[in-house]
Structure 1
Amino acid sequence: MPRFDVSSIGLCDVDLLGRPITHIPPEGKLELINQIRMTVAGTAGATAMDCGILGVSVQGVFTVGKDDLGDYICSKLTGFGVDCSLIKRTDKAQTSASILPIPKSGGRPALHVTGASAIFNVDESEYDAVLDAKIIHVGGTGLLQSFDGEPTVRLLKKAKELGRTTTFDLIGASAKTFALVEPCLPYIDYFIPSIEEAGEMSGLTDPKAIAQFYKDRGVKNAVLTMGGDGVYVSPETGEDFTLPAYDIEVIDTTGCGDSFSAGIIVGLIKGWDLYQSARFASAVAAKVAMGLGSDGKLVSFEDTIHTMNTLKTK
């Protein structure tokens, strides 16, 4: 029996966010804003954090710098119940980080330093520990220069050989990213990109066609997040379905996709079907969008269940 519910592997960084940003003031000038916040982020880091908040056992597997930002990540994740024993520290690069000037619309323009995530990798000698979880989540393909491609394929393949369930998300996808992603697809049980990223890689625009594109290449379940338009789900068996987004005031969309992945993972751990898992994941993402940063207003499993059952959809 695996030790953890989830092993979250890949990109972890620190986000420094401010809102609302209407413009950048001229040099030497001061502009007052309402809020500045620092959070753990990244397609693996934020998912690990949100899984911890939602009460499942999770270990983080990423590389951070031997710096203040790396200390912050380890301290914050530990506080959320994430096991940090497999987080590597390096003095060869700073911890990955982003500055996000969030406008009133809640969008997320970003200035990013790849940093230590560029040298993140998992050696085969580490597989026993890294894959010691029921669900293996890989997040960050596209910004993990040393891990992208064949190393990711090997790890996912080994995960499936061990009978693990695999989930997968990426970041900053383009047509070029597909060369890294395609060999992974036969080993992915739940493919959870945004519709924009999935469309960029496939060259398609229709959600049904996009989902089928990835399923034809080996993905078992395609789950496409569509922001304010909800989610499109093409399950391994049964009919495709869509779910509307929750009707909320959007403060910040940073981390919504990462938190949605966490919601799907928690649903799978609870033994729910994909419809119920996607409903819950949508509620998780809504809680995150209600606040600033990749955890936003997410506080607990019970509170999220309440949101799922009471908040109106669009």
Structure 2
Amino acid sequence: MARFDVTSIGLCVVDLLGRVVHRIPEGGKLELIDEIRMTVAGTAGATAMDCGILGLSAQAVITVGQDDMGDYICSKLSSFGVDCSLVKRTDKTQTASTILPINAKGERPALHVLGASAVFTIDDKDMDAVLDANIIHVGGTGLLKAFDGEPTVQLLKKAKALGRTTTFDLIGASAQTFTVVEPCLPYIDYFIPSIEEASEMSGLTDPKQVAQFYKERGVKNAVLTMGGDGVYVSPQMGDDFTLPAFDISVVDTTGCGDSFSAGIIVGLTKGWDLKKSALFASAVAAKVAMGLGSDGKLVSFEDTIEAMNTLNFKK
């Protein structure tokens, strides 16, 4: 029996967020805003954190700098119950970081430093421990310069050889990103990109066609997040379906995709079908979008279940 419910592998970032930013002041002028927060973010870091908040046993497999921001990530993840024994520290570069000025619509232009994520790798001696989880989540392909490509493929192949369930998300995808993503597809059970990223790589825009594109190349289940338009799901078995987004007042969309992945992972861990898992994941993302940062207003599994059962859908 695996030690953890999930191992979350890849991109981890410190986000420094401010809202509401109507404009960037010129020169050295001052502009007052309502709120500033620092949070753990990234397609692996935020997913690990949110899994911890939602009650799963999770371990993070990430690389951070030997700096204050790296200390913050380890401390914050540990406070949510995430195991950090496989977190690597490097003195070659700083912790990956992003400055996010959030506007009134909750949109998030980003100023990003690749930092330690660009040197992220997994040592052979750690591989057994990395794969000691029922679900193996890879997040951040596209920004993991040392890990993208063959190292990711080999990790996923080993995970499948052990009978693990694999989930996969990426970031900053372009047409060029597909060259490192395509060899991974046959080893991915749940492919969970945004429709924008999936479209960039496939050259298609219709969600049904986009999902089919990836399934034809080996993905078992394609789950496409579509922001305010909800989610499009093409399961391995059964008919495709869509779910609308919940009707909420959006504060910040940072981390919504990462938290949605966490919601899917929770559903899989609990043995739910994909429709219930996607509905719960939508509620997780809604709770995140109601606050600032990649955890937003996400506080517990029970609170998220209540949100899933009481929030109205967008019409």
TM-score by length of 1: 1.00
Residue 54 (structure 1) aligns with? 54
Cα separation, 1, equivalents of 2:125 and 2:157: 15
Structure 1: gaps of 5 or more residues:
none
User: Shift in Å at residue 54 of structure 1?
Assistant: 0.1
1:272 aligns with 2:272: yes
**Residue aligned with 1:305, SS:** helix
Q: How many residues align structurally?
A: 314
Name the counterpart of 1:121: 121
> Can you list the C-alpha shifts for 1:142-163, whole angstroms capped at 9, x where unaligned?
0000000000000000000000
Q: Which residue of 2 aligns with 1:230?
A: 230
1:65-93 CA-to-partner distances (Å, cap 9, x unmatched) read 00000000000000000000000001001
**1:189 maps to amino acid:** D
Q: How does 1:31-42 map to 2 (within 5 A)?
A: 31-42=31-42
Instruction: Measure the CA separation in 1 of the matches of 2:239 and 2:187.
Output: 22
Superposition deviation, residue 26 in structure 1: 1.2
Task: Give the CA deviation at 1:126.
Answer: 1.7
Partner Cα separation in structure 1 for residue 269 and residue 134 of structure 2: 8
TM-score by length of 2: 0.99
Q: CA RMSD in A?
A: 0.4
Q: Matched residues, percent identical? A: 80
Deviations 1:99-132 (A, max 9, x none): 0000000011100000000000113332100000
Taking the aligned partners of 1:64 and 1:155, their CA distance within structure 2 comes to 20
- 1:262 Cα offset (Å): 0.1
Question: Cα deviations across residues 166-209 of structure 1 (Å, max 9, x unaligned)?
Answer: 00000000000000000000000000000000000000000000
| Aligned twin of 1:24 | 24
* Matched residue, 1:300: 300
State how 1:166-177 maps to structure 2 within 5 Å: 166-177=166-177
Name the structure 2 match of 1:218.
218
User: 1:120 is matched by which residue type in structure 2?
Assistant: F
Q: Please tell me the residue identity of whatever aligns with 1:147.
A: F
Which residues of structure 2 form unaligned runs of 5+? none
CA distance in 1, matches of 2:191, 2:122: 21
- Report the Cα distance in structure 1 between the residues aligned to 2:257 and 2:140, rounded to whole angstroms: 12
Aligned to 1:94: 94
Tell me, in whole angstroms, the C-alpha distance in 2 between the residues paired with 1:81 and 1:218.
34
User: Partner letter of residue 113 of structure 2?
Assistant: V
The runs of at least 4 consecutive aligned structure 1 residues that moved more than 4 Å come to none
Q: 2:59 is matched by which residue type in structure 1? A: Q
The equivalent of 1:199 in structure 2 is 199
Q: Deviations over 1:30-65 (max 9, x none)?
A: 110000000000000000000000000000000000
